[in-house]
Amino acid sequence: MTDVTVVGSIFMDLICYADRLPKPGETLGGTDFQTGYGGKGANQCIAAQRLGIKTAFVGKLGKDAYGKEYYENFLSEGVSVEGITLEDNVPTGVASIMVGTDTGENFIIIAEGATKLVTPSYVKEAGEALISSSKLVVCQLEIPHESSLTALRLAKQHGVPTIFNPAPAVSGLPKEIFQLCDHIILNETEAEIISGLEKIQDQLGLEQAIEKLKELGCTNIILTLGSDGALVWDNSRKSYERFQAPKVKAVDTTGAGDCFVGAYAACIARGDELSTAVRNAIANASDSVQRKGTQKSFPYKIEIFLIDCDL
């Protein structure tokens, strides 16, 4: 049995670092350039795999140099690749990323490539057997939302719990997609878009966003707040809980949200309490931002215990 099956996106990251992010129309000299393995789905899968659980991935690569290299990366990380197809005459998806080293913040532009071909029919064909034999299914929105909805429906049919990360967020998603997820993980911007609320500025605004999500049918709601930790609605306890994050110097925040989702998924799959999963996810994400890169910054299992999680 697979612990976690992730259905989602795969992008090769092309990362340029500068002392600060450029203004519109401005050209800056960079301080460093790296290529790396990315895509929200793939990132979340690798983050979970590194914590000692068994993962499988459902997605598509191009049959180009990037695609072949990325396929080998999945193999080297120990991820099951039976749900991954390399497509002819289609490029592997690419993410162009700019990082300002003064704050660690980033801008990202994606060209979907083969990831755009992860259709509902492909998810069913390549993913149903993996989904049905998993303890947990994870999906996001860098593939068509109909494809994520298909993954959630299949998980429901086979009695498999689910995590939905609505990123990048879009308004007007079908209500069913929220009703089918057992855990939803999103940041403040995504919460604003999905809830329809204007700029969230305080605890009251955060709780109002969560109440809107509950109206849509969400159960366990994890609202991530970056360096401020997370606010959680635990449906089993019918209560809010606020979790703080350790204070760290951020070097590169690229992929931190995906590291959070992957670590949370690993903890839930191994039977941890929701509060324990959130603490560990915050610890791993906080650890990852202290290093450059996306997947290369994600901690391995032992590192989860080296961070003070008594928040």
Contacts of 259 (CB under 8 A, 6+ apart): 43, 47, 281, 284, 285, 288, 297, 298, 299
Mean pLDDT of 299-306: 59
Q: Look at residue 272 and tell me whether its pLDDT is greater than 90.
A: yes
Q: Any known ligand binding at 148? A: no
Position 253 pLDDT exceeds 60: yes
> Is 298 among the annotated ligand-binding positions?
no
Strands 220-224, 230-234: parallel, antiparallel or unpaired by DSSP? antiparallel
Has residue 48 got a pLDDT over 70? yes
- With tokens 């034999």, the residue in question is 133
The pLDDT of 62-87, averaged and rounded, is: 97
User: Which segments of the chain are extended strands (E)?
Assistant: 2-7, 11-18, 32-38, 55-62, 80-87, 94-100, 106-111, 134-139, 162-164, 183-187, 220-224, 230-234, 239-243
Count of beta carbons in the 10 Å neighbourhood of residue 292 = 18
* 291 annotated to bind ligand: yes
Q: Quick one: average pLDDT of 22-36?
A: 89
What is the model's pLDDT at position 311?
32
Q: What local confidence, expressed as pLDDT, does residue 105 receive? A: 84
Quickly state the pLDDT bin for 181 (edges 50, 70, 90): very high
d(CA 285, CA 14): 21
Q: 169: buried, middle or exposed (CB in 10 Å: 19+, 13-18, 0-12)?
A: middle
Which pairs count as long-range contacts for 238-241, CB under 8 Å and 24+ apart, including other chains?
A: 240/207, 240/210, 241/275
Catalytic residue annotation: 258
Give the pLDDT of residue 277: 94
Per-residue pLDDT band for 107 (boundaries 50, 70, 90) equals: confident
The reply to whether 293 sits in an annotated binding site is: yes
- Structural domains of the chain ordered from first start: 2-9+39-90+114-305 (3.40.1190.20)
Instruction: Categorize the per-residue pLDDT at 225 as very low, low, confident or very high, splitting at 50, 70 and 90.
Output: very high
Q: What is the pLDDT of residues 122-166, one digit of tens each?
A: 999 999 999 999 999 999 999 999 999 999 999 999 999 999 999
